[in-house]
A and B are shown apart, each in its own frame.
Chain A
């Protein structure tokens, strides 16, 4: 006989072994754990991959297209033709400032016809190529996406133009020589949501109507926009082609970072998703380790027989490795497929939100999922599996020979390390990945130690004697606890781990989601008022309180230009990236305050106090500091009017962009800025039905600019709602993984308990005695696991909320009640089920199954 069979023979036998073990139900939990892990990692990776691609596009929606070209003179028709030739879609817009007049006759003799300077945008029918315009049929009415731009002969105007001109929908407006009907209130324009400051109120009209106004003449100040959208390659080709043909005064616009509010929510959702996937993967690792351990225990005898029948160690290892590899590959394939399907569902949920179709998924995420699955298998199944090769053949004669020791945590170190590496890759965030894996490993060890100590204490001689005096079941139960101290501690730790995950995912998740919803509450500000002068402050406040609208916080704003950083003059060319260049070129809105605004958080450094500290301090938003490369301790020089001041960055702030509150990139102590000319800005919630108040405000303080951001707020809320729906879906995977861990932990000691129970019955213990002592054991373990899991979930929840999601999470009473209860219920149920199993079979049969 050939003793050194080839690879093919090994694979064949491994396949047969797999089929047999599968049939015996040994591998199902293990396979399920792998499928869940791979599916969750894959779906989230697929999703993140597509969303990040979509976000790039989404930024383009801010431009209204994938590519925008701007010119100070009209575009050569050849340029437009070139866009069409490449199969790209094309649109056009002209922007210019013009006076708009209300055609309505003045209501009183001495009232002049109302007029207002407007930012006119004349668009071709195809505009916008990306994103949607939103309009409302009347002031204060709910808005909806518009299918296309304004029809010929009509215009859409912003709320503040309606107020300023007293021109509700249906009225006629004069623009140059033309006259137009106001067809709708324009509530959202993709290109404007990024920056609505300092722009004349918008009037949108059809491009073909411009000629009739006679407003565009040679020499008029008009910006000509050309938009293109379509396939990535065609676009890149066109961009390269066009870049070489740009004349003076023409440029191609790109925008790197759009829609900060949507982006903030998406970032949060991606972190949620990423974390959940990580959690699922690590949990699955635990389930795989537990499942393999059980597999190994159940195969000790069989392996001894195989050794006895002449299988060399190496071949044995090869066989089991091959068996697990086949299983792993199949599970990974299934998991990837499932993940792909799941991301389809998630993408479907978010289709609306991302507006443009998501780009097609790439294969990389499937690869990642596969790798995670294989690492789980290698890292968590191999260590216990390797022990099988060391089972001595002698075991066939002496059963106690070669019972493997519980694998030391150290044997999993490589697996954990590999997993950490992969997860870091997956999360794209070293700190996050390491925190999760490290925290998890730490929790396991901590749980096991606490469980071991508590069980040892509970079952210690004196305690046991005192409690156990009353009932023999109690005494035996406690004795069992002591006897199984080690395996019980591991079991409690695993149970607590699974339960932590389940609690975290059910309770804490709900709380987190609620907190998240509160981040953009329905009462978020929906109006911004700009340009309030210092001497108008009292009157504006009075205006609000007269109308029973809560008087909003008014923030001072000083406009300054950044001229030097650390003493070196600022040159925009020195900055990398469009956004950085644009930021340093524009004037900064500087504000001052004694206290940190309540919706800001200190990320680094210290906030100044009124008395201490010097006046030359600045607090900078974290993101902009990163973009522009500012660090704590850097000095910035700003020029305000003809003066300049220099101050040191002493703190970094983190803002919540989706809160719709007034935020400033740069803030200073009052002493530094108070003497400069400032205007004030505020954001507030205008209650529904009070839209007319804004007309009154505009009439009373003509210099104020009121901006309606209601549509943007509603959009932010819709974004969050959709994201939450999508995110919930992935929770199911992690929840599944948690349940698998629970199950694996419960059945981990089932064989041993069953054998012991059978033996006790053989020596004459009554059923009541057997179940009673098991119940005592399980009850103690349940209480412990429940308490550990509750604490773990509460701590983790707080950490997640604060560190990762920047949300405030109130402690959950439900968690504290339900957590321990869940532990007790779970183990009571298990005690009941396992005693049924033990008692149904005769002791003889139970013992026979063991041999």
Chain B
């Protein structure tokens, strides 16, 4: 369901030339006319079609839909991990299609945090090192202190030197969360963050996501198929067969 405010924003942004001068806009993420088609054998498979979505600063948006409805594909496109077949994505004032892969990576590193269903921790690194990694990549000083602080925040202050394989799923996801927040991103993208977790640890992770989101004023786009979880977000976008349904 597209609210009136959103419609106005979309209209406003259409009137602006989408240049860097509009950085002060409150829209952090804007997707227009997103379509995704892949070749499957000798016929084309349409995964997404004609998706419009705008997310304002500090907003929490849930993307829900049945398995296979295209949620992950959409998230990947929003993050610039994948390219849409049609349409444009503006992230933090920059048009992703106009950037090369490295520039998109730089943009992600600066502005986006990720949480995945499968955690995606580096198995050879301890919890602390996993969280330090994005800061190290950016060559930020004080990486270790910052990482410790965030790990304390997610309740893993005692598990700093543990390797992922010695942590439970919930703990691993909290490490992933700490890694996402340690760079103080503008936008947090989460793809079924509780999908691999039992109800209890899932609830813990969700609480942390919302708490930290609020504390840091981060914008959140969360993919889930959990309706109750979705209802905790300010806005719910429904996907079915690659379209937004109202």
Give the interface of A toward B (CB within 8 A).
Answer: 1-3, 5-6, 9-10, 12-13, 16, 20-21, 23-24, 26, 301-302, 304-315, 392-394, 396-398, 848-849, 851
Give the interface of B toward A (CB within 8 A).
Answer: 72, 75-76, 79, 81-82, 101-102, 105-110, 112, 114, 116, 118-125, 129, 133-134, 136-140, 165, 179, 183, 191
Q: A308 contacts which of B81, B106, B125, B138 (Cβ < 8 Å)?
A: B81
For residue A314, which residues in chain B have a CB less than 8 angstroms away from its CB? 102
Q: How far is the CA of A2 from the CA of B110 in the complex (A)?
A: 9
Chain A residue at minimal CB-CB distance from B117: A397
Chain B residue at minimal CB-CB distance from A2: B139
For residue A308, which residues in chain B have a CB less than 8 angstroms away from its CB? 79, 81, 105, 108, 114, 120
For residue B119, which residues in chain A have a CB less than 8 angstroms away from its CB? 851
Chain B residue at minimal CB-CB distance from A304: B120
Whether A3 contacts B76 by the Cβ 8 Å rule is no
Q: How many residue pairs between the two chains, A and B, have CB atoms under 8 Å in the bound complex?
A: 104
Nearest CB of chain B from residue A324's CB, rounded to whole Å: 16
Question: Which residue, A20, A304, A310, has most C-beta atoms of chain B within 10 A?
Answer: A310
Q: List 18 other contacts, CB 8 Å, given A1-B138, A305-B133, A309-B133.
A: A1-B140, A2-B139, A2-B140, A5-B139, A13-B136, A301-B120, A302-B124, A305-B122, A306-B133, A306-B137, A308-B114, A308-B120, A310-B138, A311-B137, A313-B102, A392-B81, A397-B191, A851-B118
Chain A residue at minimal CB-CB distance from B141: A9
Whether B165 contacts A312 by the Cβ 8 Å rule is no
Known: A1-B183, A2-B139, A20-B125. A309 touches B81 (CB 8 A): no
Whether B106 contacts A23 by the Cβ 8 Å rule is no
Known: A310-B138, A851-B119. A397 touches B76 (CB 8 A): yes
Nearest CB of chain A from residue B67's CB, rounded to whole Å: 14
Q: How far is the CA of A301 from the CA of B124 in the complex (A)?
A: 11
Nearest CB of chain A from residue B101's CB, rounded to whole Å: 7
Whether B81 contacts A312 by the Cβ 8 Å rule is no
Whether A310 contacts B123 by the Cβ 8 Å rule is no
Q: How far is the CA of A9 from the CA of B179 in the complex (A)?
A: 20
Q: How far is the CA of A26 from the CA of B123 in the complex (A)?
A: 12
Whether A393 contacts B105 by the Cβ 8 Å rule is yes
Question: Which residue, A16, A848, A851, has most C-beta atoms of chain B within 10 A?
Answer: A851
Nearest CB of chain B from residue A142's CB, rounded to whole Å: 65
Q: How far is the CA of A615 from the CA of B158 in the complex (A)?
A: 98
Q: How far is the CA of A21 from the CA of B183 in the complex (A)?
A: 24
Whether A396 contacts B124 by the Cβ 8 Å rule is no
Known: A3-B109, A393-B81. A849 touches B123 (CB 8 A): yes
For residue B112, which residues in chain A have a CB less than 8 angstroms away from its CB? 310
Q: How far is the CA of A6 from the CA of B139 in the complex (A)?
A: 9
Chain A residue at minimal CB-CB distance from B103: A312
Q: A309 contacts which of B102, B108, B125, B191 (Cβ < 8 Å)?
A: B108
Nearest CB of chain B from residue A399's CB, rounded to whole Å: 8
Whether B116 contacts A309 by the Cβ 8 Å rule is no
Whether A394 contacts B125 by the Cβ 8 Å rule is no
For residue A305, which residues in chain B have a CB less than 8 angstroms away from its CB? 120-122, 133
Known: A1-B138, A3-B109, A309-B109. A26 touches B124 (CB 8 A): yes
Q: B72 contacts which of A12, A23, A397 (Cβ < 8 Å)?
A: A397
For residue A307, which residues in chain B have a CB less than 8 angstroms away from its CB? 105
Q: B116 contacts which of A16, A313, A397, A848 (Cβ < 8 Å)?
A: A397
Q: How far is the CA of A653 from the CA of B13 in the complex (A)?
A: 92
Q: How far is the CA of A301 from the CA of B125 in the complex (A)?
A: 13
Q: B106 contacts which of A12, A20, A312, A396 (Cβ < 8 Å)?
A: A312
Nearest CB of chain A from residue B127's CB, rounded to whole Å: 13
Chain B residue at minimal CB-CB distance from A308: B114
Nearest CB of chain A from residue B86's CB, rounded to whole Å: 18
Chain A residue at minimal CB-CB distance from B101: A313
Q: B124 contacts which of A5, A23, A309 (Cβ < 8 Å)?
A: A23
Chain A residue at minimal CB-CB distance from B165: A849
For residue A2, which residues in chain B have a CB less than 8 angstroms away from its CB? 138-140
For residue B183, which residues in chain A have a CB less than 8 angstroms away from its CB? 1, 309
Nearest CB of chain A from residue B141's CB, rounded to whole Å: 9
For residue A20, which residues in chain B have a CB less than 8 angstroms away from its CB? 124-125, 129
For residue A1, which residues in chain B have a CB less than 8 angstroms away from its CB? 109-110, 138, 140, 183
Chain A residue at minimal CB-CB distance from B126: A20
**9 cross-chain pairs, A with B, having the tightest CB-CB distances, nearest first:** A310-B109, A5-B139, A24-B124, A9-B139, A312-B102, A302-B122, A309-B134, A1-B138, A310-B108
Known: A1-B183, A13-B139, A24-B124. A394 touches B82 (CB 8 A): yes
For residue A851, which residues in chain B have a CB less than 8 angstroms away from its CB? 118-119
For residue A312, which residues in chain B have a CB less than 8 angstroms away from its CB? 102, 105-106
Q: How far is the CA of A315 from the CA of B101 in the complex (A)?
A: 13
For residue B72, which residues in chain A have a CB less than 8 angstroms away from its CB? 397-398
For residue B179, which residues in chain A have a CB less than 8 angstroms away from its CB? 309
Q: B110 contacts which of A3, A13, A23 (Cβ < 8 Å)?
A: A3
Known: A309-B134, A313-B101. A394 touches B122 (CB 8 A): no
Q: How far is the CA of A109 from the CA of B236 in the complex (A)?
A: 138
Whether A310 contacts B139 by the Cβ 8 Å rule is no
Chain B residue at minimal CB-CB distance from A849: B165
Q: How far is the CA of A312 from the CA of B107 in the complex (A)?
A: 10
Whether B134 contacts A310 by the Cβ 8 Å rule is yes
Chain A residue at minimal CB-CB distance from B106: A3
Nearest CB of chain A from residue B201's CB, rounded to whole Å: 15
For residue A848, which residues in chain B have a CB less than 8 angstroms away from its CB? 165
Q: How far is the CA of A303 from the CA of B136 in the complex (A)?
A: 14
Q: How far is the CA of A1 from the CA of B140 in the complex (A)?
A: 7
Question: Which residue, A21, A392, A394, has most C-beta atoms of chain B within 10 A?
Answer: A394
For residue A392, which residues in chain B have a CB less than 8 angstroms away from its CB? 81
Q: How far is the CA of A327 from the CA of B76 in the complex (A)?
A: 35
Q: What are 6 sample pairs from A and B whose C-beta atoms fall under 8 A apart? A: A13-B136, A16-B136, A23-B124, A306-B133, A849-B165, A851-B119
Q: How far is the CA of A398 from the CA of B77 in the complex (A)?
A: 13
For residue B110, which residues in chain A have a CB less than 8 angstroms away from its CB? 1, 3, 310
Chain A residue at minimal CB-CB distance from B72: A397
Chain B residue at minimal CB-CB distance from A1: B138
Q: A5 contacts which of B108, B123, B138 (Cβ < 8 Å)?
A: B138
Q: How far is the CA of A307 from the CA of B114 in the complex (A)?
A: 12
Q: How far is the CA of A517 from the CA of B15 in the complex (A)?
A: 93
Whether B122 contacts A310 by the Cβ 8 Å rule is no
Q: How far is the CA of A9 from the CA of B108 in the complex (A)?
A: 20
For residue A24, which residues in chain B have a CB less than 8 angstroms away from its CB? 123-124
Whether A397 contacts B75 by the Cβ 8 Å rule is yes
Q: How far is the CA of A751 from the CA of B108 in the complex (A)?
A: 31
Whether B116 contacts A310 by the Cβ 8 Å rule is no
For residue B122, which residues in chain A have a CB less than 8 angstroms away from its CB? 301-302, 305
Q: How far is the CA of A21 from the CA of B129 in the complex (A)?
A: 12
For residue A3, which residues in chain B have a CB less than 8 angstroms away from its CB? 106, 109-110, 138
Q: How far is the CA of A483 from the CA of B35 in the complex (A)?
A: 36
Q: How far is the CA of A311 from the CA of B109 in the complex (A)?
A: 7
Question: Which residue, A26, A311, A848, has most C-beta atoms of chain B within 10 A?
Answer: A311
Q: A394 contacts which of B76, B124, B133 (Cβ < 8 Å)?
A: B76
For residue A311, which residues in chain B have a CB less than 8 angstroms away from its CB? 105, 109, 137
Whether A310 contacts B107 by the Cβ 8 Å rule is yes
Chain B residue at minimal CB-CB distance from A319: B137
For residue A393, which residues in chain B have a CB less than 8 angstroms away from its CB? 79, 81, 105, 108
